[in-house]
Amino acid sequence: MCQINTDPMRSQMGYLEVTIPPDILNEDGGDDHVATEGGNVRVKCRATGMPEPRVSWKREDLKNIVLRQEGGVKEVKSFDGENLELMNIQRTDMGVYLCIASNGIPPSVSKRILVQVHFHPSVKVPNDLFGAPVGTDVSMQCNVETSPKALNSWFKETAKRKSLSHYYHSSRKNLIVKFLLSFFEFLFELWDSTIFPRVIQYLIISSCLRKS
């Protein structure tokens, strides 16, 4: 207040407002969230500043945020609020989510939060029956979808299918073998024993006559 001691006294009031750019608080202690497919995830983000910041969420890959509730499913480009709840989470929801805080005072700030979804492994094969001349190479392939990363293994059974006579361990999904027998069977197996049970896919190779 500015005051002049006259008769009568005169005064003038003034106001000072201090603005503070937004800052995101690191309260959770970590930026990663993990859930099993079908579960729920709540990610939180609080910010301080003057005036009070607006907090919004976006996906780093620019895909829509999927909000699943009892009333249905809604897809949005951004979501406003400190708490983002992902209900009945699916593997397509996996990725980096950006918490963005802004209050009109530059600069706006953001924080990256990784959401990981673990789901049961699945195996798809382009072809599960192969035919080739004896002595030639055969390339077999299995396409694997799983999270977290699984251990991929190849087994070869005997013709009588009594026991596993050979063991092939590889992180790759492709296997090239020299076809020396008239008939044998391969098993492609993957697992992460700490989370999901094993998944097995059979691939069968049978011989064709070698061309003279």
- Shared domain check, 102 and 138: no
Residues 101-126, mean pLDDT to the nearest whole number:
91
CATH of the domain at 138: 2.60.40.10
Query: What is residue 167's predicted lDDT score, i.e. its pLDDT?
Result: 37
Average pLDDT, the chain: 78
Task: Indicate whether 209 pLDDT > 90.
Answer: no
Query: What is residue 210's predicted lDDT score, i.e. its pLDDT?
Result: 45
Residues 132-146, mean pLDDT to the nearest whole number:
78
- Shared domain check, 37 and 85: yes
Residues 44-48, mean pLDDT to the nearest whole number:
94
DSSP β-ladder status, 54-59 and 95-102: antiparallel
Closest C-alpha among 101, 86, 104, 102 to residue 45: 101
Q: What percent of the chain has pLDDT over 90?
A: 43
Closest C-alpha among 79, 107, 110 to residue 93: 79
Taking only the tens place, the pLDDT of each residue in 5-44 is: 888 888 888 888 899 999 999 876 567 899 999 999 999 9
User: Is this model's pTM higher than 0.75 or not?
Assistant: no
CB of 75 closer than 8 Å to CB of 65:
yes
Task: Indicate whether 60 pLDDT > 50.
Answer: yes
Q: Is 11 inside any structural domain?
A: no
**Alpha-carbon distances, residue 55 vs 5, 79, 109, 201, 202 (angstroms):** 49, 9, 10, 47, 51
- Shared domain check, 160 and 70: no
Q: 128: which DSSP letter? A: S
Taking only the tens place, the pLDDT of each residue in 152-195 is: 777 666 544 333 334 333 444 555 554 444 344 455 555 444 55
Domain's final residue, options 119, 152, 176: 119
Query: What is residue 19's predicted lDDT score, i.e. its pLDDT?
Result: 95
CB of 69 closer than 8 Å to CB of 61:
no
Q: 104: which DSSP letter? A: S
Q: Which of 102-106, 178-182, 194-198, 205-209 has the highest mean pLDDT?
A: 102-106
Q: 54: which DSSP letter? A: E
CB of 62 closer than 8 Å to CB of 20:
no
Range(s) of the domain holding residue 57 = 21-119
Q: Is 2 inside any structural domain?
A: no
Confidence of residue 198 (pLDDT cuts 50, 70, 90): low
Task: Indicate whether 84 pLDDT > 90.
Answer: yes
**Alpha-carbon distances, residue 211 vs 2, 125, 134, 177 (angstroms):** 107, 28, 10, 19
